[in-house]
Amino acid sequence: MKKILITTGGSGGHVIPSLSIYDALKDDYEVQISTDLRGSKYINNKNYKYSLIDAPNLFSNLLLFPYNLIKFCKSIITSYRYLKLSNFNILISTGGYMSLPLCLAANLLNIKIYIFEPNSVLGRANKLMLSFAERIICYDKNLKGISKKLFNKIYLVKPLLRKEIYNYQKNEKTTITGKKNLLIIGGSQGAKFFDEFITKIIIKLSKTHKIQVLQQVINLNSKKNIKKLYQKNYIEHELFDFDDKFLVKAVNYDLAITRSGASTISELGYLNIPFVAIPFPYAKDNHQYYNAEYYEKKKSCWLIMQKDVNEKSFKDLMIKIFEDQNEYFSKKDNLIRLAEENNWEKNKSKLIELINEN
């Protein structure tokens, strides 16, 4: 039986797809996960066993570069020993600097490497490793940042959602009447903007529309402050900082205002929830913009750059979305079409087919 290691870490955008890959392959292969300390907080250790292998970010602090370089070399040695002792045949990397030591060690050991890229632009770590990899698993056939001579390595799959998402009830509403139900998803990066600006907009909208909000906030202190504001303005609300099950409630929500991490907008799309995307402007290689642009080109979302946002224009957009239901349901229908062929069994079969190549 083939023995596979999935290496991940850092943000939820890296870790969540790795858990989907694990669930898809675990019945047919011997599969394990490795992550760094940051990534471990996204993994339920009751459901998933993982090894902790930390790697430094070489360029996080140039003054510490010599020290981090030594740590990085040590992490390659640790990775080499771990891979060799565990007799892995295949390494699947979900990208990020934390994956590099394991990828480099796997290359030295002639272990097959597959890399996974959920974004519409190739990440830097994946770009470094692509020439050594057998294939790159991705969603976008027009993946940006990849050399034309390596296009033959692209292996297309539908967005890999968490397994439980496929069992969630979808939004089947055919009209928006009365109370407007809004999901606010700031993500782990740049959420302060959502806590401050989007909260202001919700309060302004509540003066003319009845609003109910399910909102992700950056921390407990922010949660406390926003709760006071919503209570003062009689806005129905539920606030959370991290809850991987919040989309269970999404069936009743009309619209999401969100960053555009690949996992988040894929899940919203699958659940038929139209969204306004405000990409995190400091994301590496501007990948959140390109993720949202993919959906905008399919006429299935609204895309706004954070630098172009002001209170009046954003409030006007929200009112237009509420009142122009032809546009709203046109985007919703396009989302439904995009997700039509995305199901758990098809994605599982595609991954198994890839592993069994050659």
Whether residue 176 sits in one domain with residue 301: yes
Categorize the per-residue pLDDT at 188 as very low, low, confident or very high, splitting at 50, 70 and 90.
Answer: low
Q: Indicate whether 91 and 229 sit together in one domain.
A: no
- CATH number of the domain residue 152 falls in: 3.40.50.2000
Residue 97 shares a structural domain with residue 243: no
Q: Are 98 and 197 within one domain?
A: no
Specify the pLDDT at position 97: 86
Identify whether residues 73 and 116 lie together within a single domain.
yes
Q: Which of the four pLDDT bands, split at 50, 70 and 90, describes residue 207?
A: very high
Q: Do both 153 and 185 map to the same domain?
A: no
pLDDT(244) > 80: no
* Judgement on whether residues 288 and 182 belong to the same structural domain of the protein: yes
How much is the pLDDT for 13? 82
Residues 145 and 172 in one domain: no
321 plus 347 within the same structural domain? no
pLDDT at 281 over 80: yes
What percentage of the chain carries pLDDT values higher than 90?
Answer: 70
Residue 136 structural domain:
3-161+343-355
| HEC string for the chain | CCEEEEECCCCHHHHHHHHHHHHHHCCCCEEEEEECHHHHCCCCCCCCCEEECCCCCCCCCHHHHHHHHHHHHHHHHHHHHHHHHHCCCEEEECCCHHHHHHHHHHHHCCCEEEEEECCCECCHHHHHHHHHCCEEEECCCCCECCCHHHHHHEEECCCCCCHHHHHCCCCCCCCCCCCEEEEEECCCCCHHHHHHHHHHHHHHHCCCCCEEEEEECCCHHHHHHHHHHHHHCCCEEEEECCCCCHHHHHHHCCEEEECCCHHHHHHHHHCCCCEEECCCCCCHHHHHHHHHHHHHHCCCCEECCHHHCCHHHHHHHHHHHHHCHHHHHHHHHHHHHHHCCCCHHHHHHHHHHHHCCC
Domain count, the chain: 2
**Does 156 share its domain with 203?**
no
What pLDDT, on a 0 to 100 scale, did the predictor assign at position 190? 57
157/172 same-domain check = no
Res 306 pLDDT > 60: yes
Same structural domain, 251 and 276:
yes
Mean pLDDT value across the chain: 91
